[in-house]
Amino acid sequence: MTHNFSPFLDKNPKASPDARYKGLGGIFSSGLVAYVSGDGIHWKKLQDKAVFNDEGWVFDSQNVSFWSEAEDQYVLYYRKSPAGVRAIARATSKDFVNWSKPVMMTYSDTGSDVPAHHLYTNQTQPYFRAGHIYVSTAARFMPGRKVLTDAEAKVLNVHPKYYNDTSDVVFMTSRGKNRYDRRFMSAFIKPGIGVQNWVSRTNYPALGVVQTGPAEMSLYVNQDYAQPTAHVRRYSLRLDGFGSASAGYEGGELISKVLKFEGERLVINFATSAAGYVRVEIQDAAGEALAGYSLEQSRELIGNEIERVVSWGGKSDVSELAGRPIRLRFVMKDADLYSIRFEK
């Protein structure tokens, strides 16, 4: 079980005090066995029998589970490789004991349940600032992509089995069900400087992204795998800073798909240069500017803030548009837009 035991703090409001922490562990021969704890230190089996089983090349990875407030159930993401490529499957449960029939996750870039590259771990979790969005800092594994020479590996004293491949971190999102959005195809975290970062099974992220400052969040990544210098390193980035819509000095614009919202104010997370700006227009579903919310009436937003309220002619209350189909048009210059949300 210690090969891949993965615990979590259970946010299910019905969880008993002696089961505030839960976790799964096990390999294909044992199935996934459930454990519970009241303090996260002292653990016991929830039951002797495995709570989840599957066939084939499964579970040889960190299999993550959590309570989803958005779905009102437990969710499990685990390793499964029916096509010979390390991939991800999903199952759900109301009680952490009885699980649904698993389904393979699909990927927006391939349009199938086979990812473009081996995904060794998936590290899927609800984003702590938007629990309906699951973020995945997955470990991408490139078998046989050898970077080090034998001589370089000998100097590093790396285990002889673990320098014939490479790995890095990719970023995916999901909103439940069985689909990952892979719109960001570049590496999320590239291997660091030096050959010690280019061995097999290094650069694998630990589970979770956590807030570590008023405007900062962090994740933790293993480095120097199978070497005497093996360690975990912290990487930090701004809140919501997984990616951005970015405009250069020449400017650009972005128009959202049709959406409906609840709330009274539009809040954006953005950054501009001293010469840059962001302006926002609210349109109807056909793309026509709504009276009172045109680009000309939008306040020019300049600065670098996690939360800035958008206004038009000094007015920020947009509650009259709540529930209506709208589009958001962003016109930007030398700026990044990290996130948008409506709030009361």
Cβ(127)–Cβ(133) below 8 Å: yes
> Residue 204 has what pLDDT?
97
Q: What is the pLDDT of residues 246-283, one digit of tens each?
A: 999 999 999 999 999 999 999 999 999 999 999 999 99
Those residues with Cβ within 8 angstroms of residue 107's Cβ, 6 or more apart along the chain or in another chain? 113, 114, 115, 116, 172, 179, 180, 182
> Residue 237 has what pLDDT?
97
Other CB atoms within a 10 A radius of the CB of residue 255 amount to 12
Query: 290: buried, middle or exposed (CB in 10 Å: 19+, 13-18, 0-12)?
Result: middle
The CA angle 131-136-140, to the nearest 5 degrees, is: 180
CA distance 255 to 284: 12
Q: What is the pLDDT of residues 1-13, one digit of tens each?
A: 988 999 999 999 9
Query: 13: buried, middle or exposed (CB in 10 Å: 19+, 13-18, 0-12)?
Result: exposed
CA distance 143 to 230: 20
CA quadruple 183, 187, 189, 193: dihedral, nearest 10: -160
Cβ(340)–Cβ(318) below 8 Å: no
CA distance 149 to 225: 16
> Residue 3 has what pLDDT?
87
> Residue 66 has what pLDDT?
98
pTM above 0.85, yes or no: yes
> Residue 280 has what pLDDT?
98
Those residues with Cβ within 8 angstroms of residue 193's Cβ, 6 or more apart along the chain or in another chain? none
Cβ(168)–Cβ(204) below 8 Å: no
Mean pLDDT split into 10-residue runs, the chain, 344 residues: 94 97 96 98 97 95 97 98 96 98 98 97 97 97 96 96 96 96 95 95 96 98 96 98 97 97 98 98 98 98 98 97 98 98 96
Structural domains in the chain plus CATH codes = 6-238 (2.115.10), 245-343 (2.60.290)
CA distance 202 to 27: 21
